[in-house]
Structures are given as structure tokens and as C-alpha cells.
Amino acid sequence: MSRRSTAEEKTTKFDPIYRNRLVNMLTETNPLYVLRQALCGVTLNIAVKARSLAIRWLLGASRKRLGRNMAFKLCFKLVDAANGSGDAIRKMEETHRMAEANRAFAHFH
């Protein structure tokens, strides 16, 4: 007989609009708002292809996260980015610092 108790299986209800359990599991707010906040937080101010870079960084950060289900990993990274934290935000800040430094030395060319 095992000493550990078995975990109760939690069932979440489907979201009435998107018909998705992940929406109810991750956030009580509008998921479209969370997506917009995540993209605005990760988007660069300088780059021309800022939105595509932001999406690429979010996908890359979610692929690095441990777990099997990509939908869960992406949802957690979107919530992190909407809150202003996570790997995608760090990548955006790093790229922004490099772009600012390169712009400062642009007059030498």
C-alpha cells in the first residue's frame, strides 16, 4: 500500500465563448486581452518586423518550457508576457538594448 494519496482529478468547465478548457484554467479575464497584452509587452519599438519577432520569441520561449502539451506551454508563456515577465520579455529587452547601442554608433558609418 502506497503512502502517497492519489491526486483528485480536477475538471474545469469549458469556456462558453471559445469552448476551450485552457481559457478557464489560466485566466479569469478575456483571453484576447491577455494575448494583446502579451504581444504589446514583447513587441519592440524600433524593429520593422516587431510583431513577427514577438510571436517568434513567444513560440521559442514556449518550446523551451518543460512539458508535453504545446498549448499549455504557450498559454503559460502568454500569461507571463502579459504580466511583463518571462523569457520572451527578457529577449525583447536584450534586443532593444542592442538596437539602442547600434543606433548610438550609427553616425560613424
> What percentage of the chain carries pLDDT values higher than 70?
69
- Domain positions in the chain: 21-108
Architecture label for domain 21-108? Orthogonal Bundle (1.10)
**Could you tell me which residue, 74 or 15, shows the higher pLDDT?**
74
pLDDT at 79 over 80: yes
Tens of pLDDT along 25-77?
667 667 778 778 888 888 766 655 677 788 888 889 889 988 888 888 888 88
Confidence class for position 106, pLDDT limits 50, 70, 90: low
Cα of first residue to Cα of last residue in the chain, in angstroms, is: 74
For the whole prediction, is pTM greater than 0.75? no
